[in-house]
Amino acid sequence: MKDELISLFIDDELDLDEKTVFVETVHADPTFTNETLALLKQEKLLSTPLSINRPMPVGVTVLPSLLKRFWSFQIPFKALTVGLATAVIVIFVMQPETLLFRPKSQKLFHRFVIFEPGVQQAEIAGSFSRWKPVPMKSSGRNGYWEVTIELSPGEYEYSYFLDGKKSVADPTVQFGEEDDFGNINSIIRIGT
């Protein structure tokens, strides 16, 4: 049915033969063309870009599913699994810094550093400070500004503010997200 070609066209699902028929029909049938344009307009509205500014869920581990999968093996393997699991638990317990057994409330210190020799003042603001600026300390005359902040494990967004106005993303951090004002906020994960 030719009408369905319109949706195939909208969804980039036409093969070469269908493309030929589609173009020929657009040329020959104004009603078909108008229908195509109307549905394209509707689809554009429906496809309005949306973004969500939530950090990735933290504290989720794949370990339970792996154990679940191993547990479905035959009985002899279960005994082996129990032994292995015990060994793994012992290893983790002996290394308290390991993620899986670290209490969620444990605080970690993170040092934020930026090289900005030309400014008089540098601050950092982020989700950890409810976006309230935290002053950074100049480390001498070498242009570095730093501050150490105590943080719980998790994901945080932040940005540097120079001379009280200019917002700068952390150049050393790979991930960032644009805020509602067009600035890029850096995203960092602590202890996960």
How far from the centroid of its chain's Cα atoms is residue 45's Cα? 25
User: From the CB of 146, what's the least distance to other proteins, in Å?
Assistant: 26
User: From the CB of 77, what's the least distance to other proteins, in Å?
Assistant: 18
* Nearer to other proteins among residue 122 and residue 188 (C-beta): 188
User: From the CB of 145, what's the least distance to other proteins, in Å?
Assistant: 28
User: From the CB of 12, what's the least distance to other proteins, in Å?
Assistant: 8
Extract the tokens encoding 77. 């393997």
Give the torsion through C-alpha atoms of 8, 13, 15, 21, to 10 deg: 10
The residue ranges that bind other proteins (CB under 8 A) are 3-4, 6-8, 10-11, 13, 38-39, 42-43, 45-54, 56-57, 60-62, 64-66, 175, 180-182, 189, 192
Rounded to whole angstroms, how far apart are CA atoms 153 and 98? 12
* Nearer to other proteins among residue 53 and residue 139 (C-beta): 53
The answer for residues whose C-beta is within 8 angstroms of residue 35's C-beta and 6 or more apart is 3, 6
